[in-house]
Amino acid sequence: MPCEQVHGAQAAMSFIGLYLVALGVGGIKGSLPPHGAEQFDEATPRGRKQRSTFFNYFVFCLSFGGLIAVTFVVWVEDNMGWQWGFGTATLAIFLSIPIFLAGSRFYRNKIPCGSPLTTISRVLIAALLNSCASRNSTSSIANMASSPSPPIPTGKEGGQNTNSKDVESIEIPSTSLTFLNRAVSDTPACGALKCPVQQVEEVKIVMKLLPIFASAIMLNCCLTQLNTFSVQQAAQ
């Protein structure tokens, strides 16, 4: 039976469903793997082994789910109708939600500390403003690599014993992407833009990942066209 073109409310419902599926898939793919990785202690050999085991099972479940989708669900759609195929997938999702929520009290939840977009924006703006300020004035940008280390108090001074663990080591920014090191300043152009070295290093990590992300765009475009091309050939 040939497909009938939909209009009006049916077309709107179809597009809304597609957008919601894209939103849900993007959200769960970006949050579920980090959530699972945070459940294990990476500081211990046992925790690292358990985390590796988790990702093995995670990838296996994804592959097994894809196998069910292209075999059983397709058989249901061909023999019983598309509504039953989508209904089967929807039922599986609804069953997974209470199973996931059942372990909420056992999960290790990492409390977020601000938005990463805010941190990235602050570091980039601080580096730019501090760079402009250094050209127009004699205010020096903090160079953590060449700054002299403050004297470490000893137990003889003041008659107090000082534990070496209590003395915080001076953080030094890395030599890569040195432009961002200008965000670390003793006299920033704006007080709200004062950035610690840790935030600068985190932004550097994100910046280094951008080429990898960009190189994967064309690969995903090819994979998407391959899937639609196969479906189109089967429909002819």
What are the phi and psi torsion angles at 61 (to 5°)?
-65, -40
Instruction: Indicate whether 206 pLDDT > 50.
Output: yes
Give the separation between CA 120 and CA 127, rounded to whole angstroms: 11
Tokens of residue 29, six digits: 């793919």
Instruction: Indicate whether 139 pLDDT > 60.
Output: no
Give the predicted TM-score (pTM) of the model: 0.56
Question: In residues, how long is the chain?
Answer: 236
* CA-to-CA dists, residue 90 to 25, 63, 74, 83, angstroms: 13, 18, 14, 10
Confidence class for position 141, pLDDT limits 50, 70, 90: very low
Q: Give the count of beta carbons closer than 10 Å to the beta carbon of residue 194.
A: 16
Q: What percent of the chain has pLDDT over 90?
A: 4
Give the separation between CA 58 and CA 62, rounded to whole angstroms: 6
Confidence class for position 53, pLDDT limits 50, 70, 90: very high
